[in-house]
Structure 1
């Protein structure tokens, strides 16, 4: 097997992980969580999103979080769903943006009340403008494998959407198994297809949910297809209100542990990462289920 010697972890816990938590996490605690994650060695992270606080109250403190978390060399990424989000981004001083579009029309309509085509028509001029201004732009491809409403997605439809984003000049594609239904063979086939057809300079990340316990196996399969960038979430935080049955993202600590055991470098210190997970755990409504976190709790329990 030819596997990468180094993998980049893009931590999505502070944004994708916390956005659906019903219990509001105070801004100062989000900021502490983010700094703890960065202290563990994480170099790329989704910090927050410029969405309407009416629809996502958890992200209502986005400007405050950005103000206290972007004064370093980390690639700090902010989700911007539309033109209003871009306006807030330009005022924030942050230079890294993420957009999202679902391959599935039904999923896209449930999420933002627009078809996939309508979303792309709206985002295209925003992306071109940000690239002219020197921004790093990431495109998140939702429901790249399965949709909770439409079922299996066609690989060619995924490739076509990715090619459209590539033509717009995005720097990275994050290709997501939104409901955690993909299997390792499907993962290998899709990422091998994307790697073959898309420009080599385009960064490609894999984003897996662990709904059916397949995420680590899918990461291994993506590694075999040449992927060396992965979205993960500390503590396995996350979920999606528009994807029934979807559970949290694959846990950063489980991913780092597996890669370390395989001799693949991430630059992340597992013990410090677990400290960040321990810090955020009281703010999470559901119990954290990541294996490394639970094992670390058992080891601390007096016998």
Structure 2
């Protein structure tokens, strides 16, 4: 598997080097650290461009930019139906043409990943996330590191997923991760550039390189809550999550009325929500299903 760049390797080496120390390390509370400080070399500069989000680097004989990969033009839509005690989620992940940052992997938050039966499109694999505090299902396009980004961007891509679960639909978080960038023929890789700059510049880049620069996080619909524990309070809490979320800008005027809306009136509020995107349509459908399942 090829990696976006070598920054994770730098971190790993640092941890290994510390673990292999043969002399004990003594830390005294209240005294300053004696760790050596990296010296800034002449003409070293690492800045974050607020307008573009690029990290602009100048060090030694290298000058380059590290762009974020958050501009992912993608939609997640679901048709939800019932079969006996289970809910069927027929979902589509669509990346539009012209979006250079095409999706190679994504994660879906799930409080009970083991309760989901998943049918995947060709080329995808899934596994449970390792973070037990924030359980999720992870999805990855196998062989995605060999994908031609430009070719995929020319046509876009749609992949269909099916989930079967006893969990009712609700608001879940998604992380979309793009196809890694690879250098063009004759162009230096980012790893080669990082090797050529000063240790100080590498350290400054590490301070700015966060996970959020290489993923797009958004809220959409997915398996969420068991019917036995659903309530008006739970539904109200999910609507409140959406307050201030840009993808649901047209919903904000309606969501602002939540504090004045009684439980029996929540159904009317949900029905008033407009549908201006596949994501909004799918979530509105899910919320209506929840309303209709609650006692009146």
Same fold by TM-score, threshold 0.5 exceeded?
no
Higher helix share: 1
Using structure 2 for the length normalisation, give the TM-score: 0.26
Question: Which protein is bigger by CA-based radius of gyration?
Answer: 2
